[in-house]
Amino acid sequence: MSDRVNLSDALPTHSPNGHHPKGVNQENQNKIRIRGARQHNLKNIDLELPRDRLIVFTGVSGSGKSSLAFDTIFAEGQRRYVESLSAYARQFLGQLDKPDVDAIEGLSPAISIDQKSTSHNPRSTVGTVTEIYDYLRLLFGRAGEPHCPICDRSIAPQTIDEICDRIMELPDGTRFQILAPVVRGKKGTHQKLLSSLVSEGFARVRVDGEVFQLSDSIELDKNYTHTIEIVIDRLIKKPGIQERLVDSLATCLRHASGIAVIDLLNDTSIPKQSEQTNTSYAENTPKSENVQDTSTNGENSYQQPSNELVFSENFACPEHGAVMDELSPRLFSFNSPYGACPKCHGLGNLRTFSPELLVPDPNSPVYAAIAPWSEKDNSYYLSLLYSVGQAYGFEIQAPWNKLTSEQQHIILYGSDKSIKIEDRNEYRRYAGVIPMLQRQYDETNSELVKQKLEPYLVDQLCEVCQGKRLKPEALSVRLGQYRVTDLTSVDIGQCRERVDNLKLSDRQTQIADLVLKEIRARLQFLLDVGLDYLTLDRPAMTLSGGEAQRIRLATQIGSGLTGVLYVLDEPSIGLHQRDNGRLLQTLTKLRDLGNTLIVVEHDEETIRAADHLVDIGPGAGVHGGRVIAQGDLETLLTAEESLTGAYLSGRQVIETPAQRRNGNGRSLVLKNAYRNNLRNIDVEIPLGKLVCVTGVSGSGKSTVVNELLYPALQHQLTRKVPFPKHLDTIKGLNSIDKAIVIDQSPIGRTPRSNSATYTGVFDAIRDVFAQTIEAKARGYKPGQFSFNVKGGRCEACGGQGVNVIEMNFLPDVYVQCEVCKGDRYNRETLQVKYKGKSISDVLNMTVEESLEFFKNIPKAATRLQTLLDVGLGYVRLGQPAPTLSGGEAQRVKLASELSRRATGKTLYLIDEPTTGLSFYDVHKLLDVLQRLVDKGNSILVIEHNLDVIRCADWVIDLGPEGGNKGGELIAVGTPEKVAENPRSYTGQYIKQVLQQHPAK
């Protein structure tokens, strides 16, 4: 994970003895003073904030809350810290620009906990992010009990006599050398060790599998890991060598901490073990390639080199000879070659081509069925398939599903039989679609080729470790009654119970006491922030922004810091109302430790629980940037300009609909959904309604909508994706002709993309400019007014208006283009004007201004009106897409859909659209959603916001809990019906808000 944790270079508030430094006013030390904040849309704000309090910044979306909290207060704290470092260190640190503020006084060390994704690294898990897994590795590495990976019996030490007896079972004449591994996989030149070996009288060493004379000059690269083994003795197996063998083994075991490697020098194969032997086979060096893979019941695999015996006087299985080195924490690390599964290298799964994705439509003919081969210029593949068909008795015009399973398997995986290639008149082996694509994917250096093949790849569970990531030796170690994966594969609540119920010996208890205390504390922190449904082995990349933020919040509580300024961005996102109380307790606990919390938040419960409130507004964008109210809750409720206060006090109300829609009489029905934690449920989704899917975090909402329903719709509508597994059937698909996902992903990832280009309004605006008299006289077409293509744009900056100057250890500097002065276009294009405004002037207008400007141009006005309707009137038309928040990007997508002609058979899938929205913005969003449904469309929304749920026509509530305790269908019906269900947590809160806001 990439934690954004930075400390400011600020003086401590208090001296170590509790007294304030001489000349420092104690009252000044109890406040954070901001003077002249002008970052983004802030209008020269002066503000005083109390220290050691829970401070909540509220206001409508886009009013300037994040500009003040993150881009001003936190950014200044980070800048001060980074400036205290050397220039060399600064070049490796990401740094925020200096905020536009006159002064900030009383600033504490600052830590930002925002909603950026925890990590995109597949090796990062909840356990590694929270450091709980590091403690588990230490626990099992120091107090664990090894067992045989094959028979699961406890492994006991071996004696020299047992080792000697096993070696004497080798065939007579077998040449072997006894090696003592003194360095195993460690970086360095190891010159001191090599010199000491010479002084001890040793003549040879084996380094990374190659034998050297110690008298030679051995130079090792210090940046690479090396394995060094002393050649203790070279022997030939024959009667009478026992005495020498015992002496050599004793020397070997003494130098190698109880490990002896017997390297067979001739081609003699290792004989089968008798039931009484104590032999051990293990992989000796990372470079060993002659390893045979054997699996046991698909659970564990055992590595057996064919030319080496490894013995240990520490641990070995008396029946199977399984040997283990001394237990250490790295054995349980799936990010280390010493602990990771050798097949999947610690990932738990393998990226392979999926037959279902390669053949998305089994009804299509063979020549068109294989998706990557059905593109343009596929004559070679057609010829290949034709040749395979001739050899195995099928026509390529035949439907794929009419082929036998054997024929399908041959097409996909190839055959050993040589076939005649018709167009080349030659015979050769056919490799198969999947091996050919795999080789193409592995060997290509083209990112374009990889991007084309990526959609056909899936993560397949590793057949060796079964997704557990660790090698068999690690999986066979137990602490009490549990393996390490028994603790990481269950949810946090169960994990805490298992840790509490560990059955340990007195020695283990003594070793594990401190470690268990840390593990219990960190597990409790996760429980406190409502993440009890997660498992420690869950990949961090699958966490939502809110989950990632709460994990980092739990980690900060565990650090126990005091005197710190924490800046949080909507920690309640994705959290059910039931769990809000636990989150607030966590925040107050952090405050009570002696920290100051600044929380940007829209949640009513959090606002009411704050010690100090700052309302910024009154509107968004150019209409915001001022402090409307600050102080206690009463001050906010009585502030006339405050939209937040108006909704909290009841002056403004989101009306509950008097009647719920009946819908169009059709519905989608998912039969027997059992993916993830879903418990074989049937879900009916009525169409022509606004439907909410609700439930506590982790109850299965996203699984139903995003992982089952949407892929099923895509399969029906495009045939480009396979029908989802873990779902029997879905009925009613003929009632839908289009499925659109409206999420919070960016509308574009480059500065060239903006809301005007995304919604299509810029096309209309360019047409307007192209129709002017000046443009016609010059022969300009609409393309002349695009900043993305050559012609009318400024070539000095490529149409961006700025040039980026890299400053090495300082932040990149964006310098205004000297040629166009930031206008993006060349001089000739800017001379064309409409109503006295150039195309650059239009891009700098807000949506609100441009709507007035283009009110007589229907094509432009319609799209601009939809942007205004979704609450984006403050956004500039040319504002780059990467600068839009997730909520703003989602509303741009909504506006784009609103401007389309309704078919009445469109299903919109929306995941938590209220993220980042104030009460006022939620009100506007609801109006937009109701308009979409009124056009005859259907909306399915995953939501926790009670205002959206009570205004819905239909509610599908999952639960009752998250994780293993969820996945059931708890309640279905109108909000009023769900409110009467005693099992539904959502219903309990809906009942309260319906009583507060009854339908009129």
User: Concatenated DSSP letters for 331-373?
Assistant: GG-TTSTTTB-TTTTTSSEEEEE-HHHHSS-TTSBHHHHSGGG
CATH superfamily of the 28-118+539-649 domain = P-loop containing nucleotide triphosphate hydrolases (3.40.50.300)
d(CA 384, CA 364): 18
d(CA 880, CA 752): 6
Q: Does residue 232 sit in helix, strand or coil?
A: strand
What is the pLDDT at residue 2?
A: 38
Q: Per-block average pLDDT, block size 10, for the chain (1000 residues)?
A: 38 38 52 93 94 95 90 88 78 71 91 72 90 94 86 76 88 92 88 90 90 89 90 91 92 87 70 35 30 32 54 68 76 91 90 86 86 75 85 88 89 84 73 89 84 84 91 90 93 93 91 93 88 90 79 80 90 86 87 93 94 94 91 94 94 92 93 92 96 92 93 84 87 88 78 86 94 94 90 89 69 77 91 94 92 92 89 86 77 83 83 87 90 90 94 95 89 96 94 88
- CATH 3.30.190.20 assigned to domain 153-326? The reply is yes
CA 10 to chain centre: 33
What is the pLDDT at residue 808?
A: 58
Find the length of the chain. 1000
Q: Residues 579-611, buried b or exposed e (16+ Cβ, 10 A)?
A: bbebbbebbeebbebebbbbbbbbbbebbebbe
What is the pLDDT at residue 5?
A: 38
Classify strands 457-461 and 426-429 as parallel, antiparallel or unpaired: unpaired
What is the pLDDT at residue 973?
A: 96
d(CA 740, CA 37): 41
Q: Which two tokens stand for residue 662?
A: 């009946």
CA 360 to chain centre: 27
| Same topology between domain 28-118+539-649 and domain 654-746+884-1000 | yes
Number of H helices, E strands in the chain: 38, 36
Tell me the one-letter amino acid at 907.
L
The residues, ordered by sequence, that sit 6+ positions from 544 with a Cβ below 8 Å of its Cβ are: 573, 574
d(CA 94, CA 78): 10
What is the pLDDT at residue 21?
A: 41
d(CA 222, CA 192): 13
Could you list the beta-strand ranges (E) of 874-937.
906-911
C-alpha torsion sign, points 332, 333, 337, 341: positive
Q: Which two tokens stand for residue 559?
A: 């650090």
Angle at 746 between CA 619 and CA 920, to 5 degrees: 25
Which CATH number is 351-461 given? 1.10.8.280
Query: Which residue positions form the known binding site?
Result: 59-66, 695-702
| Domain-wise residue ranges, the chain | 28-118+539-649, 153-326, 351-461, 654-746+884-1000, 750-883
Long-range contacts of 247-252 (CB under 8 A, 24+ apart): 248/178, 249/160, 249/163, 249/164, 249/178, 250/160, 251/180, 252/178, 252/179, 252/180
Half-sphere exposure of 437 (CA within 13 A, CB side): 26
What is the pLDDT at residue 731?
A: 92
- CATH architecture observed for domain 750-883: Up-down Bundle (1.20)
- Say if residues 637 and 645 touch (Cβ distance below 8 Å): yes
CB atoms near residue 424 (< 10 Å): 10
d(CA 670, CA 704): 9
For the whole model, what pTM was predicted? 0.75
Which of 66, 58, 7 lies closest to 39, judged by CA? 66
DSSP-derived secondary structure letter, 723: P
CATH superfamily of the 654-746+884-1000 domain = P-loop containing nucleotide triphosphate hydrolases (3.40.50.300)
Q: What is the DSSP string of 160-189?
A: HHHHHHHHTTSPTT-EEEEEEEEEEEEES-
Query: Which residue positions form the known binding site for ATP?
Result: 59-66, 695-702
